[in-house]
């Protein structure tokens, strides 16, 4: 990946300072240089030293590569739409870091081989959202009735690399980004497993429908049935809770074991939260509003797990890194393209340096190619 032209570095520093809400005088004082020196750096008439750049990056909460490497086009577009002085949410910064990592890996690892999906037309109605979900399940290798399991890996096979990190209850639920090839979905791992899976199914829709850059704050909250996000919410529920199997199974369990047990069994089997299950049953006209309200109050207990032989699953438990992404990092390490320290950084320290394999036998001059 090529570095930015020197003249653009000052612009990057000014942009980051503005987003952080600092004046030139405040940033200059924080890193121990004169305000006039910083003004010249931002204006492109004075070079910035490595030590100064490291101080600027630390003070502004950015990684050094943000200042010196070109950003993927979708990130550039997104930043250009932001108001000056608007701080970047943590999910934005993390998504941008992942984008740099993946673009670097795409450039150096041919075996990664990311190709975007055959994009789908955006559904213009609820009925079209249901049909799009059926088609999406086919692409994931699912039939029209089975629960959608291990969707992170399945989506990775379609070019959407999935990640999950603890971002906290006040952060966005999820975000997604289209790259030159493939895409990235970032899930807030602070969500419970059912909500994480719903968030990923929603981001999968953004990917298939070619939404360039999206940050979703509260999935399922849209009430306008004509809104795009509402249709995407419907798409996501239909991916996880297929119309071909859910209604019949609900009626069977509810008739023989009661509403609560039916909710517990099906939420576990389809790996969704109770709110999502209730909304799906309601929109399919399987239940009425009063039953939906009750289902939303149901909580699966330890006794339920034992009595009904439920299998707790922890899909997308943070930190979760795309399997395809992890394998690419290891290939780059074995090929001598990255050092062990760099590989650990690419893997977000989910594997300690001491546990990583050494590079394959290298040529004598290969050390100069380490990243």
User: Would you give per-residue pLDDT tens digits along the chain (371 residues)?
Assistant: 455 565 688 888 998 898 788 999 999 999 999 999 999 999 888 888 989 999 999 998 887 877 887 777 666 665 555 554 454 577 888 998 899 899 999 999 999 999 877 789 999 999 999 999 999 999 999 999 999 999 999 999 999 999 999 999 888 999 999 998 899 999 999 999 999 999 999 999 999 999 888 888 877 665 555 688 899 999 999 999 999 999 999 999 999 999 999 999 999 999 999 999 999 999 999 999 999 999 999 999 999 999 999 998 899 999 999 999 999 999 999 999 999 999 999 999 999 999 999 877 655 555 545 45
Q: Does residue 349 form part of some domain?
A: yes
- For residue 178, what are the β-bridge partners? 183
292 in the same domain as 331: no
Q: Does residue 228 form part of some domain?
A: no
Q: Is 305 exposed, middle or buried (0-12, 13-18, 19+ CB in 10 A)?
A: middle
pLDDT confidence of residue 26 = 94
**Structural tokens at position 123:** 């559904």
330 in the same domain as 296: no
Q: Does residue 132 form part of some domain?
A: no
**Structural tokens at position 206:** 């953004």
Q: Does residue 296 form part of some domain?
A: yes
The Cα 103–Cα 172 span in angstroms is: 24
Task: Note the maximum CA span of the chain.
Answer: 78
CB 269, CB 301: distance < 8 Å? no
**Structural tokens at position 6:** 């020197």
Element of type H or E holding 85: none
Scanning the structure block, which residue is given the tokens 């929109």?
A: 283
Kindly report the pTM of this predicted structure.
0.85
Q: Does residue 142 form part of some domain?
A: no
**Beta carbons within 10 angstroms of residue 156's beta carbon:** 21
**Residue at a domain's end among 55, 70, 85:** 70
**Residue at a domain's end among 70, 93, 120:** 70
Residues whose CB is less than 8 angstroms from the CB of residue 210 and which lie 6 or more positions away in sequence, other chains included: 119, 178
Burial 331-343 (b: 16+ CB within 10 A, else e): bbbbbbbbbbebb
pLDDT confidence of residue 85 = 47
Residues whose CB is less than 8 angstroms from the CB of residue 296 and which lie 6 or more positions away in sequence, other chains included: 274, 275, 278
The Cα 122–Cα 117 span in angstroms is: 14
**Structural tokens at position 161:** 């690399």
Q: Does residue 214 form part of some domain?
A: no
Domain hosting residue 288, numbered range: 246-300
- 3-class SS at 370? coil
**Residue at a domain's end among 47, 70, 93:** 70
**Structural tokens at position 138:** 């086919």
Compute, in degrees rounded to 10, the torsion defined by CA atoms 9, 14, 15, 16: 90
Q: Does residue 13 form part of some domain?
A: yes
CB 95, CB 174: distance < 8 Å? no
Q: Pairing mode, if any, of strands 174-178 and 160-165?
A: unpaired
pLDDT confidence of residue 223 = 58
CB 263, CB 296: distance < 8 Å? no
Q: How many domains does the chain have?
A: 3
Q: Does residue 37 form part of some domain?
A: yes
The Cα 84–Cα 16 span in angstroms is: 10
347 in the same domain as 291: no
pLDDT confidence of residue 93 = 83
- For residue 174, what are the β-bridge partners? 187, 216
- 3-class SS at 25? helix
CATH number at residue 18: 1.10.260.40
Q: Pairing mode, if any, of strands 183-188 and 160-165?
A: parallel
């Amino acid at each position: 990946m090529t570095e930015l032209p020197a003249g653009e570095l000052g612009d990057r520093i000014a942009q980051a300072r503005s987003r952080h809400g600092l004046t030139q005088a405040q940033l200059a004082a924080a890193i121990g240089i004169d305000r006039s020196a910083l003004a010249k750096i931002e204006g492109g008439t004075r070079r910035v030293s490595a030590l100064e750049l490291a101080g600027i990056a630390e003070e502004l909460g950015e990684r050094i590569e943000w200042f010196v490497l070109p950003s993927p086009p979708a990130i550039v577009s997104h930043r250009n739409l932001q108001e000056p002085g608007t701080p970047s949410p943590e999910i934005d910064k993390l998504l941008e870091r992942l984008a740099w990592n993946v673009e670097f890996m795409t450039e150096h690892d041919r075996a990664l081989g990311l190709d975007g999906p055959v994009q789908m037309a955006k559904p213009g109605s609820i009925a079209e959202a249901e049909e799009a979900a059926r088609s999406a399940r086919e692409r994931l290798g699912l039939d029209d009735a089975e629960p959608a399991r291990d969707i992170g890996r399945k989506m990775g096979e379609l070019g959407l690399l999935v990640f999950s990190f603890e971002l906290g209850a006040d952060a966005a639920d999820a975000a997604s980004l289209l790259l030159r090839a493939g895409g990235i979905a970032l899930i807030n791992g602070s969500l419970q497993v059912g909500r994480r899976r719903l968030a990923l199914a929603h981001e999968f829709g953004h990917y298939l429908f070619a939404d360039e850059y999206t940050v979703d704050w509260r999935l399922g909250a849209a009430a306008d049935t004509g809104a795009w996000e509402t249709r995407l919410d419907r798409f996501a529920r239909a991916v996880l809770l297929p119309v071909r199997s859910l209604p019949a199974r609900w009626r069977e369990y509810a008739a023989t074991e009661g509403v609560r047990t039916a909710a517990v069994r099906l939420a576990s089997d389809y790996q969704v939260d109770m709110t999502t299950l209730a909304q799906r049953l309601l929109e399919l006209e399987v239940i009425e509003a009063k039953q939906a309200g009750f289902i939303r109050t149901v909580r699966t207990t330890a006794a339920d797990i034992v009595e009904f032989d439920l299998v707790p699953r922890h899909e997308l438990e943070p930190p979760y890194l795309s399997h395809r992404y992890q394998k690419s990092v290891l290939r780059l390490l074995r090929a001598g393209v990255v050092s062990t320290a760099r590989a650990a950084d690419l893997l977000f320290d989910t594997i300690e340096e001491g546990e990583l394999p050494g590079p394959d036998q290298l040529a004598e001059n290969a050390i100069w190619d380490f990243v």
